Amino acid sequence: MVVINPLLDFCNLQTQFAQDQRICIENFWQHESAQNITHHLAERVQFNYAFSTDGVYHEKTQQELMSLSPDQRSMMQKKLMQLASEGVGFWYGRKMIRPQPEDNDLLQQVHRLLNSEQVLQHIRDISGYDDIICASAQATRYLPGSYLTRHRDVVAAEGRRLAYVMSFTESWHPDWGGLLQFYEDNGTPRDAWAPRFNSMVLFDVRHVHAVTYVAPYALKPRLSITGWFRTVPLI
């Protein structure tokens, strides 16, 4: 069973969020729950590789990537690097968490808790978005070479209001990259937030942001559960 931190001061969080429509909530989970989620992400989850080329989303398993010829892998990497050099695309590990009511897997427990009326009401109170009705969720893993280029998370068809990033890597060094980088609307960098263990970053989807390139010398995977609080039901 996973439990959020019962000592969170949601009134204070509302005041902080109102300043810039973004916030980092530290110690979001009860400590044992955070440790259990971390272990599950590190040891139990099989991640696929998510990327896009020419505006088309792709997701491949490790086996599927290894089945490509060296020339095919080289061409794919060159295409990804070309697009990234133009500020387009992403490459990271992903496991979609789809609601399965009869499944008691730990990630399903996380998904159900995020979609509980208690948590949804807290998020409504913090953000002022009274029309939020659900949360999507995915587990992500950023290894050396992973990145997510600059973008906004606005998707009208899904009714996205808020993006969230819950971090589950202890002692992440900011020099390793993998920073949540925020930008002005004109592309000027604002500030960057390093992953903090057992935190939830919550921000309005209109914020321009990216996840910076993870360096080859990063010693750990950057593990997270991310998603969006939405006004449109999950499919």
pLDDT digits (tens, 9 = 90+) for 120-157: 999 999 999 999 999 999 999 999 999 999 999 999 99
Amino acid at 65: L
pTM for the predicted model, two decimal places: 0.96
Residue 117 is predicted with a pLDDT of: 98
CATH C-level class of 10-48+93-230: mainly beta
pLDDT, average across residues 170-181: 98
pLDDT, tens only, 19-73: 999 999 999 999 999 999 999 999 999 999 999 998 899 999 999 999 999 999 9
Judge contact between 1 and 31, C-beta under 8 A: no
What is the structure's pLDDT at 54?
A: 86
Q: What is the pLDDT of residue 96?
A: 98
Q: Which residue type sits at 143?
A: L
Which pLDDT value is given to residue 235? 83
Residues 6+ apart with CB under 8 A from 124: 130, 132
Q: Which amino acid is at 147?
A: Y
Would you state the pLDDT for residue 114?
98
pLDDT single digits (tens) 72-115:
999 999 999 999 999 999 999 999 999 998 899 999 999 999 99
Query: What was the pLDDT predicted at 176?
Result: 99
What confidence score (pLDDT) does residue 221 get? 99
Which of 160, 159, 143 has the alpha carbon at shortest distance from 214?
143
